């Protein structure tokens, strides 16, 4: 276990034990954390269901048991009283059977594709749609039409019209669609939103937000991997940064009215290939040992056992990994792929009332702190600066600085997606059990609004103009 993770976990344990009253729920949480510390592995921050155990668990079918489907599903293991996974649709057989074994799903509920789920009358409360970007619209529309509540991975869809169609259909059918804007559900951004909404910062005048994608996450997902080509997934701002535009809109609390944007694919292209480089890192490339993007450097480290290595092969032995690099897409030289999405982009925004926003996404950021967004907010009464582990507010009247770090944020702020993955699936289960969309902050309407910001910003970049929303 990394030192930082160890510290956040021990912080969470101290928070539980320090409550004074060791209720059954607290004891269960403490026992779980102690076990994680003992075995040295844990995946996520915890989320406690808000409803009492008497309300029956929400039943759900997972459509697409890949990386994200599995990430959310873990909640059913830690909180079976809140979420019960009763079916899976996944075309890759090993994934489907592995998932079915883990969640005790009977053979008849293990299906090949999303279409199979909807061949029989409604048989669960909800579906989790975690299929590739281009496969969100059709299953979402079908699920809504049959009365399922939907937890839908972002992007909602790869066309704005389809995003709007889904919102319209959900409203008509009276079902909840929760979009997986996970950042909204982690303790860090939840607290940041609460503080800003309290008015202590005065009026927001500017917000400045940076998404450090990480040099090797860029190489893995957006140069060699599934999100490298717009035609096969979506443009970078929608694929990677719709979370960020969404969080900016949420924090400011006002609609965005105008956008401008610049950016390009500057580095990962053939014209930048160093002399001596080969089509694959495994082909005897003369500069492999000095290339930060070397596939061997990224995927052969034995201590790397989870994502992203699990994406390239099921066989995690050195031989298995090497075979994947020699034969599959992840061994290709980053300068010789067929990628076309941008590797850096900025978006400038004007919000209702005159506040301005500035967003930067860049591939060129270090492994340490990868994905840890940095945010600065300038208000009329205070200034805030945060890095997803901690934020500090300076009050102009007193010059006093107040920090919110892991102890104030519940000890889990630094875990996967800032604890947002479990927060989202837990909130969704609660919302379904209570039939109450107010338990969600990423409902389809607000998510379509922030997706629109991404679509319009991309239009502004391509048309070299300022676009009104």
Applying CB under 6 A, the residues found at the interface with ligand NAD are 63-69, 89-92, 95, 113-114, 130-133, 135, 153-154, 180, 182, 239, 417
At closest approach, how far in Å is the CB of 88 from ligand NAD?
A: 9
In the complex with ligand NAD, the residue whose CB is nearer, 314 or 352, is 314
Secondary structure of residue 349 in the 3-state scheme = strand
At closest approach, how far in Å is the CB of 296 from ligand NAD?
A: 23
The Cα 333–Cα 322 span in angstroms is 14
How is residue 18 written in tokens?
């320090």
Consecutive H or E run containing 434: helix 420-434
DSSP single-letter state for residue 227: T
- The residue written with tokens 């102009």 in the block is 396
Residues found in the chain: 469
- Given a contact cutoff of 8 angstroms between Cβ atoms, the answer to whether 326 and 316 are in contact is no
In the complex with ligand NAD, the residue whose CB is nearer, 73 or 130, is 130
At closest approach, how far in Å is the CB of 207 from ligand NAD?
A: 21
Secondary structure of residue 332 in the 3-state scheme = strand
At closest approach, how far in Å is the CB of 228 from ligand NAD?
A: 12
- The residue written with tokens 């014209």 in the block is 271
At closest approach, how far in Å is the CB of 393 from ligand NAD?
A: 27
In the complex with ligand NAD, the residue whose CB is nearer, 92 or 296, is 92
At closest approach, how far in Å is the CB of 189 from ligand NAD?
A: 13
Q: Are strands 149-152 and 382-386 parallel, antiparallel or unpaired?
A: unpaired
How is residue 205 written in tokens?
């005048």
At closest approach, how far in Å is the CB of 92 from ligand NAD?
A: 5
User: Phi and psi dihedrals of 345, rounded to 5?
Assistant: -155, 145
- Given a contact cutoff of 8 angstroms between Cβ atoms, the answer to whether 204 and 378 are in contact is yes
How is residue 229 written in tokens?
């080509």
In the complex with ligand NAD, the residue whose CB is nearer, 98 or 369, is 98
- For ligand NAD, which residue has the nearest CB? 66
At closest approach, how far in Å is the CB of 44 from ligand NAD?
A: 13
Question: If 0-12 CB within 10 Å is exposed, 13-18 middle and 19+ buried, where does residue 101 land?
Answer: exposed
DSSP single-letter state for residue 283: G
In the complex with ligand NAD, the residue whose CB is nearer, 63 or 252, is 63
Angstrom CA distances, 48 to 79, 82, 311, stand at: 8, 9, 30
Question: If 0-12 CB within 10 Å is exposed, 13-18 middle and 19+ buried, where does residue 269 land?
Answer: middle
At closest approach, how far in Å is the CB of 38 from ligand NAD?
A: 29
- The residue written with tokens 């399922």 in the block is 148
Angstrom CA distances, 7 to 12, 110, 368, stand at: 9, 39, 16
């Amino acid at each position: 276990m990394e030192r930082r993770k160890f510290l956040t976990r021990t912080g969470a344990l101290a928070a539980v034990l320090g409550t004074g009253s060791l209720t059954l729920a607290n004891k269960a949480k403490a026992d779980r954390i102690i076990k994680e510390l003992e075995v040295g592995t844990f995946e996520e921050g915890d989320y406690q269901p808000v409803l009492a155990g008497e309300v029956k668990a929400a039943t759900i079918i997972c459509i697409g048991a890949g990386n994200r489907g599995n990430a959310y599903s873990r909640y059913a293991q830690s909180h079976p009283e809140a979420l019960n996974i009763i079916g899976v649709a996944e075309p890759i057989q090993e994934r489907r059977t592995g998932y079915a074994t883990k969640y005790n799903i009977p053979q008849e509920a293990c299906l090949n594709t999303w279409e199979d789920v909807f061949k029989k009358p409604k048989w669960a409360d909800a579906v989790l749609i975690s299929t590739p970007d281009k496969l969100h619209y059709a299953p979402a529309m079908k699920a809504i039409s049959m009365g399922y509540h939907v937890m839908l991975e972002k992007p909602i869809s790869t066309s704005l019209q389809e995003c709007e169609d889904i919102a319209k259909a959900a409203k008509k059918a009276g079902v909840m669609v929760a979009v997986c804007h996970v950042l909204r559900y982690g303790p860090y951004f939840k607290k940041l939103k609460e503080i800003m909404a309290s008015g202590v910062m005065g009026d927001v005048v500017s917000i400045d937000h940076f998404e450090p994608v990480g040099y090797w996450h860029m190489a893995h997902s957006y140069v060699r991997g599934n999100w490298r080509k717009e035609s096969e997934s979506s443009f970078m701002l929608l694929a990677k940064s719709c979370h960020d535009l969404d969080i900016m809109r949420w924090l400011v609390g006002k609609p965005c009215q105008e956008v401008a944007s610049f950016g390009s694919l500057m580095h990962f292209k053939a014209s930048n290939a160093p002399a001596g480089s080969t089509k694959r890192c495994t082909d005897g490339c003369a500069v492999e040992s000095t290339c930060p993007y070397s596939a061997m450097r990224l995927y052969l480290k034995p201590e790397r056992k989870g994502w992203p290595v699990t994406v390239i092969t099921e066989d995690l032995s050195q031989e298995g990994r090497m075979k994947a690099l020699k034969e599959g897409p992840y061994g290709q030289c980053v300068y010789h792929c067929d990628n076309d999405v941008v590797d850096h982009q900025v978006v400038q925004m004007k919000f209702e009332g005159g506040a301005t926003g500035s967003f930067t996404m860049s591939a060129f950021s270090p492994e340490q702190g990868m994905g840890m967004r940095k945010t600065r907010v300038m208000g009329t009464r205070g200034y805030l600066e945060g890095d997803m582990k901690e934020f500090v507010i300076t009050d102009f009247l007193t010059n006093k600085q107040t920090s919110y770090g892991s102890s104030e944020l519940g000890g889990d702020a630094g875990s996967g997606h800032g604890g947002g993955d479990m927060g989202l699936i837990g909130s969704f289960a609660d919302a379904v059990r209570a039939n109450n969309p107010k338990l969600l902050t990423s409902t389809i309407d607000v998510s379509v609004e922030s997706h629109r910001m991404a679509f319009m910003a991309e239009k502004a970049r391509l048309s070299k103009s300022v676009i009104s929303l």
